[in-house]
Amino acid sequence: MSRAVVFGCSGLTLTEEERRFFTEADPFGFILFARNIDTPDQVRRLVDDMKSCVSNTAPPVLIDQEGGRVRRLRPPHWRDYAAPGVFADAYAADPEAAIEALTLSAWLMADDLFRLGIDVDCVPMLDVAQSDADPQVIGDRALGGDVATVVRLGAAMLDGVERAGVCGVMKHLPGHGRSVVDSHADLPRVTASRDTLDAVDFEAFRAFSDRLPMGMTGHLLFEAIDSEAPSTLSPVVVEQTIRRSIGFDGLLFTDDISMGALGGAVGERCRLAIDAGCDIALHCNGKMAEMQEICGEVGDLGPGAAARADRAATVRERLKADRQSPEPGEADRLGGILASMAA
């Protein structure tokens, strides 16, 4: 049984220490960042090397490839994909063109991933952007500022990702659209009422609760729900809001457990997150000392998490089997749609 954690690594190749550690720790899967990306051949070798270290015959390899600010694969080896906000802006003027363009963009973007052995993209981001939030936190990463737009564009993005044989992860449960500080550095406090959160922030996720087999928390403190604990570490938020109110019964990852929004030692954070009801702790920075500490606190997947992981694996395999490769002219077609939308 795999350990309930996803790890990153430090560079473009696994060090001997990392290879030995991953073999012994046996994490559920891995995640890649820009520091791990150089050329297509290098990424394929790294992915294959990571997979060979663990007992799971098909460990998921995750990446954040949203387009715009958050994309790990970049030119010159990969296309330069537009931010989700570009499609949200276009949707107001021409909804059908925006949907067509976003679906195609997501298809091409996920096809890049599939060809590297990366089968999980941490999209769609279903946070409903609010006008008084810090634009540098969510901003043009958002698919819109109202529930209906986010849901429709989220579905379009997911359609494209799945067409390429890649599985999505909805984030950041139960909603990051009101953040006025960056959770990488500090803990955002959300003061909106429960009724407002329920009608806006949570509603966007409900539309996908039965479709997506994987989700990711955000590190925020919702004063109307749990005034003491950040959402990732809060049994109230995880069990009552994410699981019951939103209705998400899929495999639940934490956001990066090493982010500045969370206090305490990194191993303790992981233990508290699992105790709160998260299934898998996500640790991204590749720091060996922190990964070793986490292994002292986090054991194998629990029975419920293992069942959810099995369901997610079935979806991943189905998507691979049903995969459609884009035709060579699809990139030009996307360019034409984007140009017409900007005109």
Q: Would you name the residues annotated as active-site residues? A: 184, 255
How far is Cα 142 from Cα 128, in angstroms, rounded to an integer? Answer: 7
DSSP 8-state symbol, 248: -
As beta bridge partners, residue 190 has 222
Sheet of 170-173, strand order = 167-168, 120-121, 61-63, 27-32, 3-7, 280-283, 251-256, 214-217, 170-173
Which amino acid, residue 247?
A: G
From the list 286, 181, 188, the residue with the least C-alpha distance to 230 is 188
Q: What φ, ψ does residue 147 adopt, rounded to 5°?
A: -60, -45
Q: Can you read off the two tokens belonging to residue 342? A: 């900007």
Tokens at residue 18, please? 């990392």
106 touches 160 (CB < 8 A): yes
